[in-house]
Amino acid sequence: MKVHVAVVQTNPIFGEVKKNIQDALDLMETVKADLYVLPELFNTGYNFIDQKESIALAEEAGGMTCKMLCKFTKKQMCYIAYGFAEKADTIYNSSSLIGPEGFIGVYRKVHLFYRENILFAPGNLGFPVFDLPFGKIGMMICFDWLYPESTRSLALKGAQLVAHPSNLVLPYCPDGMVTRALENKVFTATADRVGEENRGGIDLKFIGTSEIVAPDGKILFRLGKSEPAIGVVDIDFSLADKKQINEYNHLLKGRRPDQYSL
């Protein structure tokens, strides 16, 4: 079964939530997909000056962004993974998974980057995997990629594709995700943003290069560095179940956790 997976590369304007959501939807309307992956904090922008701003722009998992995107999922009979600032017991940098049935689940970023440490609480839900009609989806967010345990945790739980909403400012991730896909034999879908945000004396430039990588490490496509865009590819999720490397080596069964303790 071939599944159409798209990554949506946007250029949000800080604080313009409704416009940012609509801009993403306008891109999504141009491509038919079963699963769309949107960037980290795609609805608010990224460069919060202080925690007051992150609190003011945060919303509950079932809030306005979820409602606006759910209209699309119901109309198109599709699924969306997207990043947002989540208002819960505290404020988290989160990603939600939604579909025609509405809200499915949330992931809260475990490895916070740079000033996120003073804006958000670290994630406390681990790395959940969600069963969709066409396959098993795990989520991580941006800087999580630098910790191999993130993708490995999802692979051990059976994820076939890792949805990876991102706001990348360091140059290493697009090439790093080739290794993450290969060492776990999973698909990865990194949705990054473009543009620049200079706020409060902090100037951040985002690198784009959103991509989807196959379990063999092949880059199925990679978008440009500066323009909003959308890319889609047909994926056979069953390829991510093939963990046998040769007749003697199985990727996951060959692990030696007894030897990894510190």
Query: Which CATH number is associated with domain 2-259?
Result: 3.60.110.10
In sequence order, which residues have a C-beta less than 8 Å from that of residue 81 and are 6 or more positions away?
Answer: 35, 36, 37, 38, 95, 96, 97, 137, 139, 163, 165
- Span 154-176, pLDDT tens digits: 999 999 999 999 999 999 999 99
First to last CA, the chain: 42
Task: Give the residue extent of every domain in the chain.
Answer: 2-259
Active-site positions? 40, 109, 142
Question: Rounded CA gap, 262 and 203, in Å?
Answer: 39
pLDDT tens track of the chain, all 262 residues? 899 999 999 999 999 999 999 999 999 999 999 999 999 999 999 999 999 999 999 999 999 999 999 999 999 999 999 999 999 999 999 999 999 999 999 999 999 999 999 999 999 999 999 999 999 999 999 999 999 999 999 999 999 999 999 999 999 999 999 999 999 999 999 999 999 999 999 999 999 999 999 999 999 999 999 999 999 999 999 999 999 999 999 999 999 999 998 8
Q: Can you give the pLDDT at residue 1?
A: 82
User: What are the beta bridge partners of residue 146?
Assistant: none
Helix (H, G, I), strand (E, B) or coil at 203: strand
Q: What is the DSSP letter of 142?
A: G
What count of residues does the chain have? 262
In sequence order, which residues have a C-beta less than 8 Å from that of residue 67 and are 6 or more positions away?
Answer: none
Question: Rounded CA gap, 115 and 95, in Å?
Answer: 18
Residue 134 backbone phi and psi in degrees, to 5: -110, -5
Helix (H, G, I), strand (E, B) or coil at 250: strand
**pTM of structure:** 0.98
